[in-house]
Structures are given as C-alpha cells and as structure tokens.
Amino acid sequence: MSGDTLAVACFGQPGSYSDQAMQSYFAGRAAAASYCDHFEDVTAAVAEGRARYGVVPIENSSTGGITEVYDLIRRYDCAVVGEKCIRIEHHLLGLPGARLEDIRTVYSHPQGFAQSGDFFRAHPGWEKVPYFSTSKSAEKVAADGRKDEAAVAGRLAADLYGLSVLAPSIQTNRRNFTRFFIIAPSMETDETADKITLIIAVHHTPGALYHVLGYFFYGGMNMTHLESRPMDGHPFEYFFHIDVMGRLDDPSNAHTLSGLASMCPYFRILGNYASDKGGVL
Amino acid sequence: MSGDTLAVACFGQPGSYSDQAMQSYFAGRAAAASYCDHFEDVTAAVAEGRARYGVVPIENSSTGGITEVYDLIRRYDCAVVGEKCIRIEHHLLGLPGARLEDIRTVYSHPQGFAQSGDFFRAHPGWEKVPYFSTSKSAEKVAADGRKDEAAVAGRLAADLYGLSVLAPSIQTNRRNFTRFFIIAPSMETDETADKITLIIAVHHTPGALYHVLGYFFYGGMNMTHLESRPMDGHPFEYFFHIDVMGRLDDPSNAHTLSGLASMCPYFRILGNYASDKGGVL
C-alpha cells in the first residue's frame, strides 16, 4: 500500500457506529471517507471502483445478521478483506434543555429500536419513526429544533450534533456488539489472516449441509458463523454464508476447501482476513 | 374443537397477505380475527390467552427469515400448530385517477420495498417511506386522498380501500412466496402432521452443529430450513431454529430427537404440524 489517501465508502454518517468502525480499522492510515445512506451505495461504490474499500455492518450480537448486506455482498461480487467488532451503546438524545417528559416522537434506525426494546416498552406512548441511521436521526433532531423529538444514537453523534443525553445506555443488552466487514473489489490477505468467509449452495438432497459441515469438522476448521439466505427465484432453497477459522495458504485448509468445492453447485471464497474480537471476550 | 368461534390474532390489517393466509388456513371454521400492527402484539395475545391462535409471517422466499418473529416465538414460548404458504404479488396502488408521473411518496412495509427493488431503482426520485404493513400503507394513501402518494400492497388491499393499480406485479421475483406460522399457546398435532419445528443451542465446541445435523441425516429426517439467531447476552453464540420432516409419534423420529436432546444445552420442540406447499412446487 502506498502513502496515497485511501478512498473509503462508509455506511451511515459522521458519528455513526460504522464511522467508529472505519476510524478504528484504518487508524494510522490516510483514509478519506465518503458516507452513504444506503448499504447498496457502499457495495456499488466498491464494485464500480469509486472506493478502494467499503465499511458495512454485517451482524449484531443481539439482533443477528444484517441480511440485506449479505445479499448485496453476494450480488455485487465484493471481497471481504477485514472485520471490526464495535461495542454498541445507545443513548436517547434530545435538544439541550429537553426533558424526557417532553418527548413525543423518536427517530432511529430500526435496529436502534430493536436493540432498545425494554426501554421503549416502558414508554408506549411515543411514536417510533424508522430512519436511515442512528446518526442521521440525531442530525434530524438537531436540525428540526423541536423539544418533543428524540433520537436513538451513540455518544459520538451526540457530540457531533450538539445533543444532550436524555437517557443513557438504553440498549436492552449491556453486551451488545456489531461486527463490520471491510469490503474491497478483490481479496487481500497477509500473514495475520486467520479467518475465511465463503458462500456455498448445496445440492437439494438429504444431508447435504451435514456433509458440508463434515469437511470443516474433519479438516479441523472451526466454524464461527452460519447464515442461510434465500436463493431468489428458487423458493425455499438457500445460500449458506459461512465463517471458518483458517488460512488459504495452509495446505490442510486448502485440501479441505477444494474437497468441499467439488461437492457444491455454488462455491465462492469471499476473503481470508485477520479476525477481530473487539473486546467481546 | 367445538363449534365455538375461534379468536385469532392476525398480523397486519384486513386485506393483508397475513389476512389472506389466515382466511385460507381457517377456511370453513368460524374464526373472529383481531388485527395487530406489531408482530409482538400477536405473540403476546396468544401467550396471554387473549387469542386461541395467531398468524405471523416467518419467512419470505426472496428476502429470507423474518428474524424478529423467530425471536418473539422463542421469547413468548409459543407453539407452532400449522403453516401456510402464500404467493406474494405486489402492486403500486394510488388514488383513482392518479397517474404514475404524479407520484412523489410511496408507503410500504420495508419488505414490500425490498421485494420490489428493480421497480424502485427505475424510479429513483420517489421518497420511500417505511410503514407498518402493506395493507396499512394502502389505507393511509386512501385516507390522505393525495394523488402524489402511492402504496405497495396486494390486490385484496386495493379492493378494500378503493385504490387503483398504477403498476401491476412490481415485485422483482415472479416466484415470491411468504410462509406463515399458525401459533398457539401449546402444541396441537394430528394424523396429517409431517413437519417438526424445533429450537436448539449447541455446546461451544468445534463440530457441534455438524453432529446435530448428523442425527437428522442418519435418522432419515430431511431438514428443510435452518435459521441461526443470536443468543442475547452471549455475543456471537447462536440458537438454531430448525424445520425437519417427521412425526413425533414415529418411533424412529422420537429416537432421533431424544438422542439429539441429550447433547444440546437447549432443546425445545415448537410443534408437529401439516406442511403446506402453497403451490410453490
């Protein structure tokens, strides 16, 4: 990598959790971010060469896989070159001087509501309005200037948009993490890589997935995640997005994967990159 | 079952795809529906005895599992007593006399937008507003009475709310089905049952899921669906929601399931019911 500035397409806005993941992943490298309102803007920017890298959330430890992103990565043929885990801490943000009892309407990304279910069940009278992202919700509340509006977002967004924390740490689960993928047009790997992400389809026969997992088990490759995604146009058939620990240049792992590839009607390795625990353990 | 009217909690509104699933499943039985804006209202009504049955979407053949419903069924300890597959056909609906070029704002459930992606990519200037359900979006457009508003919904909703079809069959995929679960407070099974839905967790050891699937493979129980859901408070550990073909009163199936139960830290059978192909095949 040269000293040139890296063009990075980042989901969300300045101050978002994605922004935090990007800043953390590219710390110490000269990266120029363009922020995108939609997941598809990120995958398109990467696939069409307008960005060198993209940053998208792929999985939350409370609400699960972000299925739209799985489908976009597959559809735009992106590679995965890294991951970053970020601890999510949601706050209810409002105008300075606003009180909790002033609030009538709350904006957030749907995941912000889903991850703060207990808090909102205690405030059934509020209208919950789904919005583009947590940080964009904070920006809207600041721009609207109404004391009856609030946003669910992180502290970085509060600082950036000059909002007050009306209720801190409202997420239901204290141990709430989001995992982000760093995507690129093609694979990049180095000596730190210890995790492989791949997508397969299996033949429509009994035990097909069982035999797939047997390759990993007998090959000593520990599977850390399995996500089934529908195969559009083939009702109730599935792609499987799989993460396993391993290295493509390890002869044993390579043997396992080539055996697996021979039995799958669809087999694609998305990347081999350094895993990130992000303080989860 | 007596001749009494069945209280059924149905997701969505009159005219929704869920309503269609309910009417189709309970055809010929006296069912009184209460319609619910939120998935959780359905699971709560069933769990708290206010409804004898509930109807909720669980999986779409284009966009995948409806993960919030999986989590609610587990959290509210509901049983699954049946399933119904419905073909989804979305139309763009507007006021009578409105033309496509009048439209500025479109309301729909997020899945309605997700399933009609190609159509909306061809109309990038429209504001897409997420709303409670497809049918409620149609009701809103009818109530607002504005020619620049449209809704993505089915023909049943067009008829019910007096809207015109501005663009027919806008869903990206012609073969688009949604599978609905019929839920109840406890299991009900009869001689037509041929499908079992269960939830398991596995020990955090390499090959754990592989060995689970081995029980089904060697026990001759064909797995039709596998959905991983996060275990809240245990970052990046998972519940697996599994559908397999079989009967609880079949001695071989019972043997397979009791062997499986003995190795799982969490094991719960949600139901054994008659599978529905709904014209998929």
A4 to chain B, closest Cα gap in Å: 34
Identical fold between B6-87+176-184 and B91-167 = yes
CB-CB neighbors (< 8 A) of A216 in chain B: 207, 210
Q: Provide the token pair at B139.
A: 């009701």
Q: What is the pLDDT of residue B275?
A: 96
pLDDT in tens, A228-266: 998 887 888 899 999 999 999 999 999 999 999 999 999
* Neighbouring-strand partners of residue A115: none
Weakest mean pLDDT among A248-262, A266-280, B78-92, B178-192:
A266-280
Record: contact B210-A210, CB cut-off 8 A: yes
pLDDT in tens, A46-89: 999 999 999 999 998 877 888 889 999 999 999 999 999 998 89
Q: HSE-up of B161 (CA within 13 Å, CB side)?
A: 31
CA distances from B150 to B132, B168, B264 (A): 15, 13, 49
Torsions phi, psi of B18, nearest 5? -65, -40
- The matching CATH number, chosen from 3.40.190.10, 3.30.70.330, 1.10.3720.10, 3.40.50.10070, for B91-167 is 3.40.190.10
* Neighbouring-strand partners of residue B152: B92
Name the band, by pLDDT with cuts 50, 70 and 90, for residue B140. very high
CATH superfamily for B6-87+176-184 is: Periplasmic binding protein-like II (3.40.190.10)
- Is the alpha carbon torsion for B159, B156, B11, B187 positive or negative? positive
Q: What is the CA B278 to chain-centroid distance, rounded?
A: 14
* Neighbouring-strand partners of residue A92: A152, A167
Prediction pTM value: 0.83
B101 CB neighbour count, 10 Å cutoff: 7
A141 to chain B, closest Cα gap in Å: 18
Give dist(CA A265, CA A212) in Å, integer: 12
Helix axis angle, A208-218 to B208-218, nearest 10°: 140
Record: contact B217-A236, CB cut-off 8 A: no
Give dist(CA A177, CA A89) in Å, integer: 9
Percent of chain A with pLDDT over 70: 98
Q: Provide the token pair at A84.
A: 């970053």
CB-CB neighbors (< 8 A) of B114 in chain A: 68
The helix or strand, by DSSP H or E, that contains position B212, with its residue range, turns out to be helix B208-218
A196 CB neighbour count, 10 Å cutoff: 24
Nearest residue on chain B to A109, alpha-carbon basis: B130
Q: Across the interface, which of A62, A214, A222 has its CB nearest the CB of B232?
A: A62
Question: Dmax of chain B from CA atoms?
Answer: 64
**Cα A237–A238–A241 angle (5° rounding)?**
175
CA distances from A113 to A226, B35, B56, B113, B224 (A): 25, 22, 20, 20, 31
Quick check: helix, strand or coil at residue B134? helix
Name the band, by pLDDT with cuts 50, 70 and 90, for residue A1. very low
Nearest residue on chain B to A113, alpha-carbon basis: B68
Q: Do residues B92 and B106 lie in contact, with contact meaning Cβ atoms separated by under 8 Å?
A: yes
Burial string for A132-171 (b: 16+ CB within 10 Å, else e) reads bbbbbbbbbbbeeeebbbbbbbbbbbbebbebeebbeebb
Percent of chain B with pLDDT over 90: 74
Q: Quick one: which of A204, A100, A86, A218 has its CA closest to A156?
A: A86
Interface confidence: ipTM more than 0.85: no
Residue A135 has pLDDT above 60, yes or no: yes
Q: Quick one: which of B57, B66, B76 has its CA closest to B19?
A: B57
Residue B80 has pLDDT above 90, yes or no: yes
Per the listing, tokens 């904006």 go with A107
Most B CBs within 10 A among A40, A43, A58, A61, hence the mutation to make, goes to A61
All structural domains of chain B with their residue ranges: 6-87+176-184, 91-167, 195-273
CA distances from B179 to A34, A94, B31, B57 (A): 39, 40, 20, 6
B90 Cβ partners below 8 Å, 6+ apart? Answer: B112, B115, B116, B134, B152, B153, B154, B169, B170, B171
Q: What is the pLDDT of residue A176?
A: 84
Name the band, by pLDDT with cuts 50, 70 and 90, for residue A279. low
* Neighbouring-strand partners of residue A241: A199, A227
Residue A127 has pLDDT above 60, yes or no: yes
Q: Do residues A177 and A280 lie in contact, with contact meaning Cβ atoms separated by under 8 Å?
A: yes
Most A CBs within 10 A among B132, B202, B205, B232, hence the mutation to make, goes to B232
Record: contact A68-B114, CB cut-off 8 A: yes
Q: Do residues B86 and B157 lie in contact, with contact meaning Cβ atoms separated by under 8 Å?
A: no
Nearest residue on chain A to B63, alpha-carbon basis: A230
Q: Provide the token pair at A233.
A: 């146009």
Fold of the CATH domain A6-88+176-184 = D-Maltodextrin-Binding Protein; domain 2 (3.40.190)
Residue B1 has pLDDT above 80, yes or no: no
pLDDT in tens, B153-181: 998 899 999 999 999 999 988 888 999 99
Q: Which amino acid is at A96?
A: P
CB-CB neighbors (< 8 A) of B63 in chain A: 67, 230
- Among A179-188, B31-40, B232-241, top mean pLDDT goes to A179-188
Record: contact A225-B220, CB cut-off 8 A: no
A235 to chain B, closest Cα gap in Å: 5
Give chain B's mean pLDDT.
92
| Over residues B30-51, mean pLDDT | 94
CB-CB neighbors (< 8 A) of B222 in chain A: 206
Q: Quick one: which of B164, B15, B212 has its CA closest to A209?
A: B212
pLDDT in tens, A5-36: 999 999 988 888 899 899 999 998 988 999 99
Q: Chain B: which residues have CB within 8 Å of chain A? A: 59-65, 67-68, 110, 114, 130, 172-173, 175-177, 179, 206-207, 209-211, 213-214, 216-217, 220, 222-230, 232-236, 238, 280
Most B CBs within 10 A among A205, A213, A241, A244, hence the mutation to make, goes to A213
The helix or strand, by DSSP H or E, that contains position A218, with its residue range, turns out to be helix A208-218
CB-CB neighbors (< 8 A) of B120 in chain A: none
pLDDT in tens, B257-266: 999 999 999 9
Q: What is the pLDDT of residue B22?
A: 95
Domain A195-273 has CATH 3.40.190.10: no
Q: Chain A: which residues have CB within 8 Å of chain B? A: 59-65, 67-68, 110, 114, 130, 172-173, 175-177, 179, 206-207, 209-210, 213-214, 216-217, 220, 222-230, 232-236, 238, 280
A173 to chain B, closest Cα gap in Å: 6
Q: Quick one: which of B163, B156, B66 has its CA closest to B115?
A: B66
pLDDT in tens, A137-161: 999 999 999 999 999 999 889 998 9
Q: Which amino acid is at B216?
A: F
Q: HSE-up of A259 (CA within 13 Å, CB side)?
A: 15
CA distances from B104 to B94, B126, B178, B193 (A): 11, 5, 28, 48
- Is the alpha carbon torsion for A255, A76, A54, A48 positive or negative? positive
Name the band, by pLDDT with cuts 50, 70 and 90, for residue B114. confident
Give dist(CA B3, CA A174) in Å, integer: 49
Name the band, by pLDDT with cuts 50, 70 and 90, for residue B280. low
Record: contact B227-A228, CB cut-off 8 A: yes
Q: Provide the token pair at A144.
A: 């609207």
Q: Across the interface, which of A67, A177, A220 has its CB nearest the CB of B235?
A: A177
Per the listing, tokens 């009494």 go with B4
Give dist(CA A188, CA A52) in Å, integer: 12
Burial class (CB in 10 A: 0-12, 13-18, 19+), B228: buried
Record: contact B213-A209, CB cut-off 8 A: yes
